[in-house]
Homo-oligomer: A and B are copies of this chain.
Amino acid sequence: MTYFSYERLFDFTIKLLGAIGCPADQALEAANVLLSADLRGIDSHGVARLIGYVRLYEKQRINATPQISITHETPSTAVVNGDSGLGLVVGPYAMRLAIEKAKKVGTGWVAVKNSNHYGIAGYHAMMALSEDCIGISMTNASPLVAPTFSKERLLGTNPISVAIPAGKEPPFVADMATTTAANGKLEILQRKNETAPLGWIQDKDGKATNNVNGVMEGGALLPLGGDREHSSHKGFILGSIVDIFSAVLSGANYGPWVPPFVAFLDPDPNPVGAGIGHFFGAMRIDAFRPADQFKQHMDQWIQRFRNAAPIDPNQKVVIPGDPERTMEKIRKKEGIPLVQPVIDDLQFLSKQYQIKL
């Protein structure tokens, strides 16, 4: 583990994206989205992804100069065609559109097709906060998750993020995969060569396993709930809704047709749509009630839950967004810790594109 300053990684990312042809404003935006993951402690979605993006660009599956367009719209909705651009660029475009619509008619809802991996869902949802809007963001993803009762991987980890402004309290920011365990958690166990709790993974025959490499060996991640007795069908339902809103509404690929995030696996030769899909929402608070009233009650909500009687006096209830905010403060000051395989990747890119890391 070596620490890199935020500025150093940010600078490298902008230059690298510039080198593959991203216009300067888009490289800046993409770097903001990407590095927000490293700052917030979601290491699987930060600079660790850079080499994957570059490989997809080299295979011409990511378009560095997309002409992002609106293919259809109503006062409160739109469909955006991402033109195979980086999701890190297409996502913010679509979220801004949702916020614009919310300003005019109260809410805005934008489904996106023909996009790619968009970083952390939370970044996009949080864009709404400064506009006194509730932000919603979700995306489908390469299939790694089996529906309850199946041994096939048909859904991605399909995250949902909801960001809700408060007053004196920091905002409520939820950002969660619809599986029991996010990929990042598994990666940590894989590096440590430890086992996973039952309920996270099933093997290729659909049997629960604690083998952390079970997914790579033909198994699948399990939907939130983990098994039927603990309502894994509800996690399956949530992942399905994300898939349908992101892709069936927009015209992107859904279910098993979602193109893989890795360049060494080819997309389905018979796609059912274009690229991957996202779905964004913005709801203006004062389209419901005066913003100051809402925020006062959100403060009260947050304080009441934060101060709920704990089971263990040393572990209070966690308000969604708190851990990531704490991490952000620490990492801004102390730097972002990268594991050696990620450093190796960045150094490789550094040489390939002759950009100082």
Using a CB–CB cutoff of 8 Å, the interface residues on chain A facing chain B are 72, 74-77, 79, 105-107, 109, 111, 146-152, 154, 162, 164, 172, 174, 176, 178, 180-181, 197, 199-200, 205-207, 224-226, 229-231, 233-235, 237-238, 240-241, 243-244, 248-251, 254-256, 272-273, 283-285, 287-289, 293-294, 297-298, 300-301, 304-305, 308-312, 315-318, 320
Residue of A226, A243, A251, A284 with highest tally of chain B CB at under 10 A: A226
A162 x B224 contact (CB < 8 A): no
Find chain B residues with CB under 8 A from A149 CB: 308, 310-312, 315-318
Could you tell me the distance between the alpha carbons of A181 and B234 in the complex, rounded to whole angstroms?
Answer: 10
Give A200 Cβ to nearest chain B Cβ, in Å: 8
B174 x A320 contact (CB < 8 A): no
Find chain B residues with CB under 8 A from A146 CB: 308
A106 x B241 contact (CB < 8 A): no
Knowing A180-B225, A309-B152, say if A199 contacts B316 (CB, 8 Å).
no
B77 x A148 contact (CB < 8 A): no
Find chain B residues with CB under 8 A from A176 CB: 231, 234, 237
Residue A234 contacts which of B107, B224, B293 (CB distance < 8 angstroms)? Answer: B224
Residue A294 contacts which of B249, B272, B289, B298 (CB distance < 8 angstroms)? Answer: B249
B237 x A226 contact (CB < 8 A): no
Give A141 Cβ to nearest chain B Cβ, in Å: 16
Find chain B residues with CB under 8 A from A74 CB: 105-106, 284, 287
Residue A154 contacts which of B154, B235, B305, B316 (CB distance < 8 angstroms)? Answer: B305
Residue A172 contacts which of B105, B234, B240 (CB distance < 8 angstroms)? Answer: B240
